[in-house]
């Protein structure tokens, strides 16, 4: 019988820009870690954030981190993922997040999408 091991990888809490706060919908702090899965490296995210409007609007930058991600956590090309959000005050149940190769991260919304919180739990992208 084979032996399986798992390496404990520490989470890194991010600093959020004005208009965003940790622990949205009691989902914990926004944090990421870099993990190896089946021969590939991924960035995994967790936590939720409150969004104070009008910060999140169509065509605004939507960047919610105070600084770019470190080089080790930046994808080689744009990675776009869906994230869950509150249905309250919104006409959608999900938004998209763009993880850019320059380390900037942005929520992207359409008109009418004004949720008070967004969850990054289970978000992952390959490096």
Residues contacting residue 78 through CB under 8 Å, at least 6 positions apart = 98, 99, 100, 101
Assessment of whether the complete model's pTM goes beyond 0.75:
yes
The answer to whether residues 116 and 88 touch, using CB atoms and an 8 Å cutoff, is yes
User: What is the pLDDT of the chain when averaged over all its residues?
Assistant: 86
Two tokens, residue 111: 């008109």
Q: What is the pLDDT of residue 23?
A: 97
Of residues 117 and 89, the one with the higher pLDDT is: 117
Strands (E), 54-101: 79-85, 94-99
Query: How do residues 16-63 score in pLDDT, each as one tens digit?
Result: 998 899 999 999 999 999 999 888 899 999 999 998 865 555 445 789
Q: What per-residue confidence (pLDDT) applies to 58?
A: 44
Q: Please give the pLDDT value at position 4.
A: 45
Lowest mean pLDDT among 17-31, 61-75, 107-121: 107-121
User: Is the pLDDT score of 100 beyond 80?
Assistant: yes
Mean pLDDT, residues 78-90:
88
Residue linked to tokens 């919304």 = 109
What is 12-126's CATH number?
2.60.40.1830
Scan for tokens 């006409």, then name that residue: 91
Residues 55, 60, 64, 65, CA torsion sign: negative
CA separation for the pair 32, 26 (Å, rounded): 17
State the Cα–Cα distance between residues 96 and 83, nearest whole angstrom.
6
What number is the average pLDDT over the span 76-103?
A: 90
**Domain locations in the chain?**
12-126
Phi/psi at 14 (5° precision): -95, 160
* pLDDT tier at 89, thresholds 50, 70, 90: confident
CA angle 123, 18, 31 (to 5 degrees): 30
């Amino acid at each position: 019988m084979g032996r399986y091991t798992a390496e404990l990888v520490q989470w890194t809490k991010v600093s959020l820009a004005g208009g965003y706060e940790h622990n949205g919908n009691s989902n914990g702090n926004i944090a990421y870690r870099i993990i190896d899965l089946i021969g590939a490296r991924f960035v995994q995210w967790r936590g939720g954030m409150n969004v104070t409007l009008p910060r999140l609007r169509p065509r605004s930058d939507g960047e919610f981190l105070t600084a770019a991600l470190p080089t080790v956590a930046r994808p080689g090309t744009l990675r776009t993922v869906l994230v869950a959000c509150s249905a309250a005050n919104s006409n959608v149940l999900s938004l998209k997040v763009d993880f850019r190769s320059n380390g900037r991260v942005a929520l992207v919304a359409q008109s009418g999408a004004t949720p008070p919180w967004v969850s990054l739990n289970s978000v992952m992208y390959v490096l």
